[in-house]
Amino acid sequence: MSLLTVGTVAFDSLETPHGNVDMVVGGSSQYSSYAASYFTKDINLVSIIGDDFPQSELDDLSNKGVSLEGLKTVAGGKSFFWAGRYLENMIDRVTLTTDLNVLGEFDPILPDSYKNSEYILLGNLTPDIQISVMKQLSSKPKLVVLDTMNFWIDSAYDKLLEAIKLCDVLTINDEEARMLSGEHSLVKAAAKIFEMGPQYLIIKKGEHGSLLFDRNNVFFAPALPLENVIDPTGAGDCFAGGFLGYIAMTGDTSFENMKRAIIHGSVMASFVVEDFSNYRIKSLTKEEINSRVERFVNLTKFSL
Ligand code: AMP
């Protein structure tokens, strides 16, 4: 049930209506690893950092069962840096800066111990790297999930289509689904995206929950109404990490189990947004997670 996650390990500077933080730890594979670590202890991380990244943060990831053998450190290099500003509604955001830094020269070499990973999360990252990781696997994985964002749809559309062809499940937000497909209706967007290769599509709609499609079925998962949303950064990555972590734990890739996995992904997303950076997602208890899953179940339970 090994889970490989490739993505960024980064510094973020964030402006939100609740305050600003500068150079806090972020990055897609950092977030997804934490979220997945509550479901499986066999996580293989692939990424790159400069030697400016704090060792204590790496130790925290290792202590969660995350293998860092595939995390390359470039001496004298700077880690990926992203700065963003959230609007008053805490959903829409503008990117202020994307500095690829060491990511610009990253050509990942998978350690041998990663090559038979069964569950693959191609986290938000350049499509070239997502493709390169897939090519180095020595056995066919049980499920490949690909996450991406508007930045790559804009700047690397053709390469992204190549990467999407290699995945089973694509996760994107509603605006990105429209951008990628050129269709406004999400149902039509889903049909177009299935022609690109994936068998499953998850469309994230922020505080309005998410939709899981296959060619014949649609399932809707709500987002938990939360009192305190402090920083939405990492919600998509924690969703993806929780989703795939749950599938890896259960070993079941059926549509029925994907419904349960989506709820677990939503639970992990609901935690990360309650504080900046990884402060909340780092040290959750099983009880906190289970009680939030229960709240999700009750949110939509009714009788006729
Ligand atoms: P999310 O809020 O789930 O979309 O993820 C936000 C995280 O993704 C931040 O911690 C950033 O460091 C990272 N990030 C931002 N832009 C990119 C990008 N273009 N490629 C990869 N990771 C990014």
pLDDT of residue 96: 97
pLDDT in tens, 191-247: 999 999 999 999 999 889 999 999 999 999 999 999 889 999 999 999 999 999 999
**C-alpha 27 to ligand 1 mean position (Å):** 5
CA angle 266, 126, 239 (to 5 degrees): 5
Shortest-distance Cα residue to atom 6 of ligand 1 = 234
* Cα(109)–Cα(120) distance, integer angstroms: 15
pTM higher than 0.85: yes
3-state secondary structure (DSSP) of residue 283: helix
3-state secondary structure (DSSP) of residue 155: helix
Domain ranges of the chain: 3-299
Q: How confident is the model at residue 11 (pLDDT cuts 50, 70, 90)?
A: very high
Selection from 79, 57, 52, 76 nearest residue 68 by Cα: 57
CA angle 278, 297, 295 (to 5 degrees): 50
Report the nearest atom of ligand 1 relative to the CA of 232.
2
**C-alpha 249 to ligand 1 mean position (Å):** 25
**C-alpha 81 to ligand 1 mean position (Å):** 9
| CATH (one of 3.20.10.10, 3.30.70.330, 3.40.50.2300, 3.40.1190.20) for 3-299 | 3.40.1190.20
β-pairing, 3-6 vs 43-50, is parallel
Selection from 124, 123, 91, 73 nearest residue 17 by Cα: 91
**C-alpha 151 to ligand 1 mean position (Å):** 10
Expressed in angstroms, the distance from the first to the final Cα of the chain is: 39
pLDDT in tens, 25-82: 999 999 999 999 999 999 999 999 999 999 999 999 999 999 999 999 999 999 999 9
Mean pLDDT of the chain: 96
Report the nearest atom of ligand 1 relative to the CA of 11.
12
Q: Report in angstroms the alpha-carbon separations of 209 from 66, 124, 129, 235, 278.
A: 28, 20, 29, 11, 21
Q: Report in angstroms the alpha-carbon separations of 157 from 153, 161, 211.
A: 5, 6, 23
